[in-house]
Amino acid sequence: MKNFPTQLITEEYFKCPIWYADEPAFVNKLNKASDKYIKDAEKNLKKERDKRNKKFGDKKDMGQVFHSQTLVGDPKFKELQDYIGATSHNLLGEMGFDLTNYQVFITEMWVQEFAKAGAGHHTLHTHWNGHMSGFYFLKASEATSMPMFEDPRPGNLMNLLPEKDRTKITYASSQVVYKVKPGRIMFFPSYMPHQYLVDLGYDPFRFIHWNCQAIPKSVLQYKGENNVIQKK
């Protein structure tokens, strides 16, 4: 009977990267620039909030998420957009994609703030219309909501076994939670399922979210400025 090998060679494939860095330089300026967007979003939900509170009692803004209109093209966010566009291009290249005949654009960008009364959250979802997505946190602490990412491989999720130690990230892990703070920026492939845990309302929680897409140069009629797609 043949003996088993004394050492097995490990090769890793189909990795799911998440990148982050601390870039606090944008925080003060973009908090101020995003104030108007959040106030407008609050106004848009006021009618819905008043109707709910009249029916179920005064819950203030509990459970609401104030989602802005697009930030794409706003010059106050130009510096961040340039950073996101260039970084997304580099990361897609680092993953092994050939972008010779593509240009990376920010196709969507918005700011969100969770309700001051708590219970704001996002359910699990992906961004099917992008190649690279990310967050930039403007207001956050260890007491606020946090993003949770899930294993994007459906085959693995079909046959999960119990984990030995859920406090450690291993091959057996199917979820990972990231702590956040003002100035932290995160990038991840848009196919990565993610959600935001329920916020308890202890501290303000505001962040910018975006999607980037690599567009074939052959279909671009007009090259927009600031890595922002303006016209196809």
pLDDT digit string, tens, across residues 133-182: 999 999 999 889 999 999 998 887 788 888 899 888 888 888 999 999 99
Burial degree of 185 (CB within 10 A; 0-12, 13-18, 19+): buried
* Structure confidence by residue, pLDDT tens digits, 60-94: 666 678 889 999 999 999 999 999 999 999 999 99
Does pLDDT of 112 surpass 50? yes
Decide which of 5 and 146 is more confident.
Answer: 146
CATH number at residue 41: 2.60.120.620
Beta carbons of 137 and 179 less than 8 angstroms apart: no
Give domain status of residue 127, yes or no. yes
Give domain status of residue 11, yes or no. no
Give domain status of residue 109, yes or no. yes
Give domain status of residue 193, yes or no. yes
Give strand pairing partners of 70.
Answer: none
Beta carbons of 116 and 199 less than 8 angstroms apart: no
Give domain status of residue 194, yes or no. yes
Residue position matching structure tokens 């005064």: 58
DSSP H/E element including 101: none
What is the spatial distance between Cα 145 and Cα 55, in angstroms, rounded to a whole number? Answer: 28
Domain count, the chain: 1
Give domain status of residue 6, yes or no. no
DSSP for residue 127: -
Minimal CA–CA distance to 190: which of 177, 209, 165?
209
pTM above 0.75, yes or no: yes
Residue 105 structural domain: 19-48+62-152+174-219
Give domain status of residue 4, yes or no. no
Give domain status of residue 189, yes or no. yes
